[in-house]
Structure 1
């Protein structure tokens, strides 16, 4: 798949999910306000942040698809990871806001009005979220998209949050009104946890954490005839944009032309045997046979 085709695929997914997220958010916010449920309103704000994260994703993917240029010789793909961090920060803000609201209601309790329609609304919301997560996760893995996988994780937390809201509505119906505020606090914690997970995963890419086991690379390199060994193996990038550099050991009496040809064979073999490799830099070193 070309970068342009990948861009359109991710963009279309984000646009579709944006519409669903905002529809779900408005439903939970309006109905939560109507019945006076802090946990449902908190869940609504979480879904609203989902929509905001979709917009961030759309902006980021439009930048990351740009080709490499003089000032950005490695391309712009890390913008997806920057956007994922923005999504994480958005989750932190939402969780703090929900927590503040829940603490405020401890001194001014409000009894939610729970009816059968409350459960119907949450059942519909749960179904939509489950469909979104399954679809977005599948497409995100297929396209190796940080944006889609981060957004899917964001929406996954929605499912757990919505389940906790349903449990809370049952508890309120049975008379345990205080559980509504407690549930809002738990929801804030779940949202915060999702933000931390997204932040850690995105920082791996931005901080150039190792992405391929060096032993895997060594096995591929040593399969090339006349290669004596390799060391100083480094990898970085994302699963769909892996950069490898290594030092290649060849016989000290080998001429430059042959050494260059072997280096080319190593590059081709790595790109063929390790999915996602986009760039290989080989430094040739002479070694004396013992």
Structure 2
């Protein structure tokens, strides 16, 4: 399969022009992110010295490389068509990438909380020396602060540009990356506070700043792990940010209930990555032909580009665990 065809589809789903353009932009942004983050990792490593906050900020910068790499690999693999050995396609690679990034964040967050906390309890007083730069003696703290400004501003811009693309593509790995990018200014600010604390003799500010950064990493890891596990365990399809059940679920039920030949209807919609696998169960009023089921499946498939695999099954009774009414109707 050629490169352009991978970009234009996820499995059997051909991307609409808007999503195809969003995917191209997202891939470009992730390559830019990798280049910038790599430079940031090098810069921070060169100046971090003995500061606990700077060390934790450097580790967070290293972790920030995981989501862009996961996104680029996942979108490439998700473009493969279904086969006999993979009848549902390769969409689950997105969930696997999401889980990988979440576990890395959670594990590193736990380690850094322990490391920073033990440093605070031990009362470590990290020194910050000076260096010779262009014939001048420069306090290393200024270099640390400059490095934090460098690594803290640009990712925020990248994160804000990635967020709408994550929504358009329904890509939770890209959303996790954008969310981390947007929070990078807090990491930079905390590290700067820690460095200034050392400069003014308030040694414990460095360890507290490190704890704040570590807590942010841990929080991201917990929230991302919860969403990744829910999707891999076939939880009901939710929005790209996991804030709520995806509104297309209500649209599917409304479409099914709008048919005169349908007495009762229910659906199961699971998130496979970028696309949804949809099972619609209908209890017909009377005798039912295959043409009616096919027409309803096609109509539901046109509701949203993410409805990749729609199956309409006539049943005598609705199975347990299906959503049977649009939430608006249920709540009214």
Q: TM-score, normalised by structure 1?
A: 0.85
Match of 2:267 among 233, 238, 242: 233
Secondary structure of the equivalent of 2:64? Answer: helix
Matches within 5 A, 1:264-283: 264-283=294-313
Give the SS at the match of 2:312.
Answer: strand
Match of 1:208 among 217, 223, 234: 234
The aligned residue for residue 2 of structure 1 is 8
- The reply to whether residue 146 of structure 1 matches residue 181 of structure 2 is no
Contact in 2 for aligned 1:241/1:277 (Cα 8 Å) = yes
- Cα distance change of structure 1 residues 143 and 246 upon mapping to structure 2, 3 Å threshold: closer
Q: Which residue of 1 aligns with 2:219?
A: 193
For residues 13 and 73 of structure 1, the distance between their equivalents in structure 2, rounded to whole angstroms, comes to: 32
Specify which of 226, 246, 252 is matched with residue 217 of structure 1.
252
Q: Distance in 2 between matches of 1:13 and 1:120?
A: 24
* Deviant stretches of 4+, over 6 Å: none
Q: How far apart are 1:239 and its partner, in Å?
A: 7.3
Corresponding residue for residue 81 of structure 2: 67
Match of 1:27 in 2: 43
| Alignment counterpart, residue 248 of structure 1, candidates 262, 276, 282 | 282
1:92 equivalenced with 2:92 (yes/no): no
Deviations 1:214-241 (CA, angstroms, capped at 9, x unpaired): 54322122223x3233334211115741
User: Any residues of structure 2 matched to 1:105-184 within 5 Å, and which?
Assistant: 106-112=122-128, 115-184=141-210
Structure 2 contact 92–273 (Cα < 8 Å) conserved: no
- Matching residue of 2:61: 47
Tell me how far 1:175 sits from its aligned partner. Answer: 2.5
The secondary structure found in structure 1 opposite 2:86 is coil
1:22-62 per-position Cα deviation (integer Å, ceiling 9, x unaligned):
111222222112xx321012101110111244333333333
Could you tell me how far 1:104 is from its partner in structure 2?
Answer: 4.1
Q: Match of 1:110, SS?
A: coil
Give me the whole-angstrom Cα distance separating, in 1, the residues matched to 2:186 and 2:128. 20
5+ unaligned residues in a row in structure 2: which ranges? 1-6, 11-19, 130-139, 238-245, 318-332
- Which residue in the other structure is 1:261 paired with? 291
- Provide TM-score, normalisation by structure 2: 0.75
| Higher relative contact order, structure no. (Cα contacts within 8 Å, ≥ 6 residues apart) | 2
Q: Is the 8 A contact 2:93 2:273 kept in 1?
A: no
| 1:37–1:70 Cα change, 3 Å | same
More helix by share: 1
Deviation at 1:111, TM superposition (A): 2.9
- Residues 70/169 of structure 1: CA separation in 2 closer, same or farther (3 Å cut): same
Give the superposed CA RMSD: 2.6
- The alignment covers a number of residue pairs equal to 280
The answer to whether the 8 A contact 1:218-1:230 is kept is no
Preserved CA contact (<8 Å) 1:227 1:248:
no
**Which runs of 5 or more structure 1 residues have no equivalent in the other structure?**
none
